[in-house]
Every structure is written in C-alpha cells, then in structure tokens.
C-alpha cells in the first residue's frame, strides 16, 4: 500500500452514490484490474473537493482488507455472496 498525502476540503459537493469502482493494483509483482460492485446497503457517496483532482468516498459500509474492498452488513459481518447487478467485461490485464 502506498501512502499519499491529502487534506480534507472545507467544502465538498456530493456527486452521488457509488455503484461500483474499478481499480488497478499490484500483488506479488503482477498488475491486476479489479471491479468491485458495492452491495445496496454498503454504497458510499462520491464527493468532490474544492481543488483539482479531489474525489472522496464518504460513508458506506465496507472495509479495505488484504482481499480488497469487502462490503459489510449492519452488524459488521462481511457480505460475501450476492447476485451481480452489472455486467462488466474486463478486457485487459491492468495497465
């Protein structure tokens, strides 16, 4: 995990709820592309800061673990299986 300096803005604009997120990460020296669909009760909101390039995920019920993003229910238990809502096709192997 890479540390990135940031500052929380004084004002943000809420853009909307995050249905899914795609990201590229490296495990054991190999690049992988992941798509995570948030469960209905776990979805965070996306907000924009006042500066260029400032996007924030605010709220939601999820944890970030060594497996990636894991949705949790209202009791904090991992939600492991559910039907996908979107059909996302992965066509590459990262960057």
Whether 36 contacts 43, CB under 8 Å:
no
Statement: residue 93 has pLDDT above 60: no
Give the model's pLDDT for residue 80.
83
Sequence-ordered list of residues with C-beta below 8 angstroms from that of 49, at least 6 positions apart, any chain: 8, 9, 11, 12, 55, 56
Run of H or E including 37: strand 30-37
Give the model's pLDDT for residue 26.
84
Q: Give pLDDT tens digits for 26-82.
A: 888 998 888 899 999 999 999 998 888 888 899 999 999 887 899 999 999 999 877
pTM of the model: 0.76
Statement: residue 94 has pLDDT above 70: no
Statement: residue 25 has pLDDT above 90: no
């Amino acid at each position: 995990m890479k540390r990135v300096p940031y500052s929380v803005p004084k004002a943000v604009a809420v853009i909307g709820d995050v249905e899914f997120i795609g990201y590229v990460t490296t495990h054991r020296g190999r690049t992988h592309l992941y798509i995570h669909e948030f469960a209905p009760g776990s979805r965070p909101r996306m907000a924009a800061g006042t500066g260029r390039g400032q996007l924030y995920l605010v709220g939601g019920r999820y944890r970030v673990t060594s497996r990636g993003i894991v949705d949790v229910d209202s009791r904090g238990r991992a939600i492991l299986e559910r039907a996908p809502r979107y059909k996302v096709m992965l066509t590459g192997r990262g960057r």
